[in-house]
Amino acid sequence: DAGVTQSPTHLIKTRGQHVTLRCSPISGHKSVSWYQQVLGQGPQFIFQYYEKEERGRGNFPDRFSARQFPNYSSELNVNALLLGDSALYLCASSLAGVGYGYTFGSGTRLTVV
Amino acid sequence: AQRVTQPEKLLSVFKGAPVELKCNYSYSGSPELFWYVQYSRQRLQLLLRHISRESIKGFTADLNKGETSFHLKKPFAQEEDSAMYYCALSGNTGFQKLVFGTGTRLLVSP
């Protein structure tokens, strides 16, 4: 089993640009969640999707959006990047809801300059 | 409000010493509590959850609803326990986000 895979692993963008991060869940997992981890802090919830529907949204601006595809993979999009968006973005997959536990990917390190 | 507090940024102990990583939480209702661990250059992984009531790698954690705590304990620390530890909570039904604490770095010296 490949586990949760995220791409790219590292990314450098300029302020104002747009970025797309990708996540492939564990085979059979239908739920994908996104978290932002700023240096020195714990991960913060951004979105959760299940069966292509948004099931939860954290306290992030509308510049952040996501979607889930029929194969359960997911994309996180961030528009009009700010310096403060620099962080490790983590994807977690689960069979369904919270009772099934979450498995995290290694993350995408985004640096905004 | 849902909140997880880990008061110690760094906990440094010697090999063989007991370890207690503190976690306090705030949640209206019955939460699920978790401990996640991140070893150097590895991904975040689940260590244990309170509903399992199991011991993983010698670690245990008991949910104390009166004190709203979920401290992680190990009687004899090993060097390989050195890692970043995060306490997290979620609701216990449906689709719930994980709320993480800021983490405690455990350093076990020989």
Q: What pLDDT, on the 0 to 100 scale, is given for residue A100? A: 65
Nearest chain B alpha carbon to A34: B97
Separation of alpha carbons B27 and B72, rounded Å: 19
Comparing B65 with B21, the larger pLDDT belongs to: B21
Cβ count near A50 (within 10 Å)? 21
Q: Is the pLDDT of residue B94 over 80?
A: no
Q: Is the pLDDT of residue B61 over 90?
A: yes
Residue from the list B95, B101, B103 with its beta carbon closest to the beta carbon of A97: B95
Coarse DSSP helix, strand, coil percentages of chain A, rounded to the nearest 5 percent: 5, 50, 45
Q: Is the pLDDT of residue A98 over 70?
A: no
Is the bond preceding residue B31 a cis peptide, omega within 30 degrees?
no
Q: What pLDDT, on the 0 to 100 scale, is given for residue A8? A: 97
Contacts of B85 in chain A (CB under 8 A): none
Distance from B7 to chain A by nearest Cα, in Å?
Answer: 13
Reported confidence tier of residue A34, pLDDT bands at 50, 70, 90:
very high
* Dihedral sign (CA A83, A11, A38, B105): negative
**Whether B91 and A98 lie within 8 Å, measured CB to CB:** yes
Q: Is the pLDDT of residue A1 over 60?
A: no
Find out whether B106 and B48 touch, Cβ atoms under 8 Å.
no
Q: What pLDDT, on the 0 to 100 scale, is given for residue B88? A: 94
In single-letter form, the type of residue at position B66 comes to G
Nearest chain A alpha carbon to B31: A98
Q: Is the pLDDT of residue B80 over 70?
A: yes
pLDDT tens-place string over residues A61-81: 999 999 999 999 999 999 999
Separation of alpha carbons A18 and A20, rounded Å: 7
Task: Please compute the mean of the pLDDT values over residues A25-41 and round it to a whole number.
Answer: 93
Reported confidence tier of residue B8, pLDDT bands at 50, 70, 90:
very high
Q: What pLDDT, on the 0 to 100 scale, is given for residue A97? A: 64
